[in-house]
A = this chain, B = another copy of it.
Amino acid sequence: MNTVKVSIEQKIQAAETRIFKVVFPNTTNHYDTLFGGLAMYLMDEVAFITATRFSRKKMVTVSSGKIDFNQPIPADTIIELVGKVVRIGKTSLEVEVEIFVEEMYQDVRKQAVKGIFTFVVLDEHKKPVAVL
């Protein structure tokens, strides 16, 4: 039905979640680029908040898809992580997370990493329940 579709679009919009962060030298490796593991940590965090804000239910990560780090994230840049619900299943939810890198002292911005995180809603007995 049309009205439901609209409201889901709006819920998806309202659940979009953004985290900015400065990449300081103490979060980077010996190539002076952000650790892969730290990028994954932040991606799961923004995905979790996005999923929770969409469903307002207790979500838990069940999987992360393949993540490519071909574009390095250097120190002394600013990153923005953006989480967006991209698929709504019966008991699961997929959130796409993108990381954008901005030069600190120039107006340059590009996409660096993208990944999909899947969440489920569990009840007290840890059985999956409906997302919506």
Contacts and interface: CB of A to CB of B under 8 A. Distances in A.
Contact of A102 (B31, B53, B117): B53
A70 interface: yes
A66 B63 contact: yes
B49 A33 contact: no
A40 to B, nearest CB: 4
Contacts of A70: 62-63
A67 B105 CA distance: 27
Interface residues of A, number: 54
A44 B53 contact: no
Contacts of A107: 56
B20 A49 contact: yes
A99 B127 CA distance: 23
A37 B45 contact: yes
Contact of A63 (B17, B38, B44, B67): B67
**Residue from A19, A21, A57 whose CB has the most chain B CB atoms within 10 Å:** A19
A63 B68 contact: yes
Contact of A64 (B17, B36, B42, B61): B36
A18 B19 CA distance: 6
